[in-house]
Chains A and B, each alone.
Chain A
């Protein structure tokens, strides 16, 4: 049973460009969340998708957008990249319903903006 998979693992982009990161959730999970982790900091919540809709959003600008597909996989898009967007981007999946209090994280995508 594959866990959460993210692609690509590393990415280098130029300031002003756009980037798309991808995530496949753990089998049986229908909810996907995205986090940004700057060096030396804890992960910060970007947004969460459930039933192809954005259900919750953290304190991130509209340059950050996402999508969830019918197979529950998800994409994170960042437009007009800034140097400060350089970070490890983590995808987490979870199930719904009572008792689903454990989130499973992927290995992350390391984005470097130059």
Chain B
């Protein structure tokens, strides 16, 4: 069973703010929340990881509410090059990563 639930797809326009949500109701105490980005015919690429509250790096911000049952990935104002599939994962380490179907983000000019 997938441990996370995400919207299948989202559309946006260049320069807009995007919020990609993920539901993980059964997250365990020692689980982290990790997001990966994947372009066609490439392997997934680590974007950001957090445990609680807000985490920000040069790629995106990750918002995690106090109950940790959901998270929201928010890239900076998107560009065409942000068109990709975004996966939300929960787990305590890199053993046996469980990917869902991800969210396909399409950015239009």
Contacts and interface: CB of A to CB of B under 8 A. Distances in A.
Contact of A42 (B46, B87, B95): B87
Contacts of A103: 46, 94, 97
A31 interface: yes
A84 B95 CA distance: 25
Given A105-B43, A108-B41, A55 B49 contact: no
Interface size range on A against B: 20 to 34
A88 B41 contact: yes
Nearest to B43: A105
Per DSSP, chain B at the interface is: loop
Contacts of A1: none
A31 B95 CA distance: 9
Interface stretch (B10-18, B62-70, B75-83, B99-107): B99-107
Nearest to A43: B99
Given A88-B41, A92-B43, A104-B46, A58 B96 contact: yes
Contacts of A91: 43
Contacts of B87: 42
6 contacts: A33-B95, A43-B97, A90-B44, A92-B94, A94-B94, A108-B41
Q: 7 closest A-B pairs (Cβ-Cβ)?
A: A105-B43, A42-B99, A94-B94, A103-B94, A102-B46, A43-B99, A45-B96
Given A92-B97, A103-B94, 9 more contacts: A33-B96, A35-B97, A42-B87, A42-B100, A42-B102, A102-B94, A103-B46, A108-B43, A110-B41
